[in-house]
Amino acid sequence: MNGGGQNAVRVMVDPELCMGSGTCMAVAPTLFEMGDDGIATPRQSLSERSAKLDQAVSRCPTGAIGTAQSN
């Protein structure tokens, strides 16, 4: 799951939008963790695109999670 391959994307969580619902952790616990401030953060800044990642992005209730193609 290290992000270095051709399908690597940058994973971001907007702390202004995150409400700490934990949906991303329920869907993809290996990709996200909850900070002490109650805001979700990616476990790594780069990750391989996967169905779990796409599901976490689409199920985030506030749209706080985003991905961008890595260079």
Query: Please, what are the domains in the chain?
Result: 8-69 (3.30.70.20)
pLDDT tens for each residue of 12-26: 999 999 999 999 999
- Predicted confidence (pLDDT) at residue 2 exceeds the cutoff of 60: no
37 contacts: CB under 8 Å, gap ≥ 6: 15
Amino acid type, 21 = S
The SS3 call for residue 70 is coil
**In this predicted model, which residue has the larger pLDDT, 2 or 12?**
12
With CA atoms as reference, report the closest residue to 47 among 23, 62, 63, 68: 68
- Matching residue, tokens 């002490």: 36
Residue 1: predicted pLDDT: 45
Give the predicted TM-score (pTM) of the model.
0.85
pLDDT given for residue 3 in this prediction: 53
Spatial separation of the C-alpha atoms in residues 62 and 38, rounded to whole Å: 14
